């Protein structure tokens, strides 16, 4: 069993702004897992503000490779993945890169894509939103026009109240598609946040992602009890153990492979969230079609998908899940359903 890894830098089509900063590329690391003549593919996408890098991923993946060399049966994910998780804290994207490569290998070995193995109907894959970063009203207006093929647009807000309202107003001048908002913890005052959410509710907004800082969980719970729109946890919901905490302050959770160590844990998080009566959204970083196609395998289980990460880069090196008329279309290929280009 051979786990290999190599750095790969994702080049963004446009500079991408969120509440805290703007960037033009995303560091990633690609993995392969080879055994019995079959190659599984995986990926770690690591926006710098999350604390991982190509160097930390390489260090973790070398240790993971040494562990995998001692494994006898790569199907035993319930043994292998907890052991890898225990090798080091954090490193969630690097852990996902192993989880994805193993899932891809197993699916290829079985000759089936993961949505089939999980018993899901690919026709139930949702539409995906397309994300607009924080920008000037003119640029936002232009990007909203370009996103006309999408059935739902996700808008990054959270710099300040005037900018937030100007962005929504600019978008509404050119399109009436439903909007979702991601404040990325940008709203610090709960009364101001409530006023802005009430204003958004009159402008075709469907839900609000992570309105307040993750440390302000009590304020978020206060807001949840008054908000006319569902509040979805993102920064507050990283891993399986966070889902239960979020149930007290949010209406739903946003699950991302790069935060939660991969498909195995993401699947468990979805099941737990459902048992707790929570809405579920699947999100992503800027990623190649490898990690996007992996997340798409789970998408028939969720309410909303924000899986546009591969559309935001210009050097995608995989073919897999596509977007047709705004809807995710899963490939019938086995494993993650991806082919290396």
Tell me how far, at minimum, the Cβ of 234 lies from Mg ion, in Å. Answer: 4
Residue with Cβ nearer Mg ion (270 or 284): 284
Tell me how far, at minimum, the Cβ of 256 lies from Mg ion, in Å. Answer: 8
Residue with Cβ nearer Mg ion (135 or 182): 182
Q: How far is 265 from 96, CA to CA, in rounded Å? A: 9
Q: Which helix (H) or strand (E) holds 224?
A: helix 217-226
Tell me how far, at minimum, the Cβ of 107 lies from Mg ion, in Å. Answer: 28
Residue with Cβ nearer Mg ion (234 or 316): 234
Residue with Cβ nearer Mg ion (42 or 47): 47
Output DSSP code: residue 238.
-
Q: By the 8 A CB rule, do 314 and 13 touch?
A: yes
Stretch that binds Mg ion, among 44-52, 145-153, 227-235, 244-252 (CB under 5 A): 227-235
Tell me how far, at minimum, the Cβ of 61 lies from Mg ion, in Å. Answer: 26
* Residue 164 touching Mg ion (CB under 5 A): no
> How many angstroms separate the Cα of 191 from the Cα of each of 198, 220, 226, 271, 303?
11, 11, 10, 33, 28
The angle subtended at Cα 263 by Cα 31 and Cα 212, nearest 5°, is 105
Q: How far is 307 from 286, CA to CA, in rounded Å? A: 9
Residue with Cβ nearer Mg ion (253 or 313): 253
Stretch that binds Mg ion, among 55-63, 100-108, 181-189, 330-338 (CB under 5 A): 181-189
Tell me how far, at minimum, the Cβ of 152 lies from Mg ion, in Å. Answer: 15
Q: Is 164 left (phi over 0), alpha (psi -120 to 50) or beta?
A: alpha
Tell me how far, at minimum, the Cβ of 147 lies from Mg ion, in Å. Answer: 18
Tell me how far, at minimum, the Cβ of 209 lies from Mg ion, in Å. Answer: 5
By CB under 5 A, what part of segment 239-258 binds Mg ion?
Answer: none
Length reported for the chain: 341
Stretch that binds Mg ion, among 94-102, 132-140, 160-168, 174-182 (CB under 5 A): 174-182
Q: By the 8 A CB rule, do 116 and 103 touch?
A: no
* Residue 234 touching Mg ion (CB under 5 A): yes
Residue with Cβ nearer Mg ion (255 or 338): 255
* 3-state class (DSSP) for residue 208: strand
SS3 annotation, 256-286: EHHHHCCHHHHHHHHHHHHHCCCEEEEECCC
Q: How far is 168 from 334, CA to CA, in rounded Å? A: 41
> How many angstroms separate the Cα of 199 from the Cα of each of 46, 169, 182, 193, 194?
34, 11, 15, 10, 9
Nearest residue to the partner Mg ion, using Cβ: 234
Residue with Cβ nearer Mg ion (135 or 234): 234
How many residues at the interface with Mg ion, by CB under 5 A? Answer: 3
Residue with Cβ nearer Mg ion (43 or 209): 209
By CB under 5 A, what part of segment 191-210 binds Mg ion?
Answer: 209
Q: How far is 328 from 302, CA to CA, in rounded Å? A: 12
Stretch that binds Mg ion, among 7-15, 51-59, 115-123, 230-238 (CB under 5 A): 230-238
Q: By the 8 A CB rule, do 188 and 163 touch?
A: no
Q: Which of 104, 182, 308, 316 binds Mg ion (CB under 5 A)?
A: 182
Stretch that binds Mg ion, among 20-28, 102-110, 116-124, 179-187 (CB under 5 A): 179-187
Q: Note the maximum CA span of the chain.
A: 59
Tell me how far, at minimum, the Cβ of 232 lies from Mg ion, in Å. Answer: 8
Q: Which residues sit at the interface with Mg ion, rule CB under 5 A?
A: 182, 209, 234
């Amino acid at each position: 069993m051979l786990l290999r890894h190599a750095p790969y830098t994702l080049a963004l089509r446009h500079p991408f702004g969120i509440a805290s900063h703007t960037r033009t590329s995303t560091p990633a690391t690609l993995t392969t897992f080879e055994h019995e003549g079959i190659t599984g593919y995986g990926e770690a996408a690591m926006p710098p503000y999350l604390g991982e890098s190509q160097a930390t991923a390489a260090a973790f993946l070398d240790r993971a490779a040494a562990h995998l060399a001692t494994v006898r049966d790569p199907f035993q994910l319930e043994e292998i993945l907890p052991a890898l998780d225990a090798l080091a804290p954090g490193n969630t994207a690097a852990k996902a890169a192993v989880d994805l490569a193993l899932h891809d290998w197993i699916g290829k070995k079985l000759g089936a894509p993961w949505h089939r193995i999980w018993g899901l109907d690919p026709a139930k894959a949702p539409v995906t939103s397309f994300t607009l970063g924080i920008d000037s009203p003119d640029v936002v207006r232009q990007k909203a026009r370009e996103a006309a093929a999408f059935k739902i647009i996700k808008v990054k807000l959270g710099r300040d109240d005037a900018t937030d309202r100007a962005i929504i107003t600019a978008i509404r001048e050119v399109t009436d598609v439903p909007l979702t908002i991601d404040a990325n913890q940008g709203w610090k005052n709960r009364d101001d946040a409530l006023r802005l959410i009430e204003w958004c509710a009159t402008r075709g907004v469907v839900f609000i992602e992570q309105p307040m800082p993750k440390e302000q969980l009590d304020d978020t719970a206060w807001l949840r009890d008054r908000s006319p729109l569902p509040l979805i946890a993102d920064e507050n919901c990283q891993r399986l153990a966070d889902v239960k905490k979020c149930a007290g302050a949010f209406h739903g959770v946003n699950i991302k492979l790069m935060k939660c160590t991969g498909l195995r844990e993401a699947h468990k998080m979805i099941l737990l969230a459902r048992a707790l009566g929570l809405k579920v959204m699947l999100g992503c970083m800027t990623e190649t079609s490898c990690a996007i196609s992996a997340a798409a395998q789970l998408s028939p289980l969720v309410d909303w998908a924000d899986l546009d990460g591969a559309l935001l880069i210009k050097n995608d090196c995989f073919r897999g899940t596509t977007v047709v008329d705004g809807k995710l279309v899963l490939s019938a290929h086995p494993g993650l359903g991806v082919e290396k280009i």
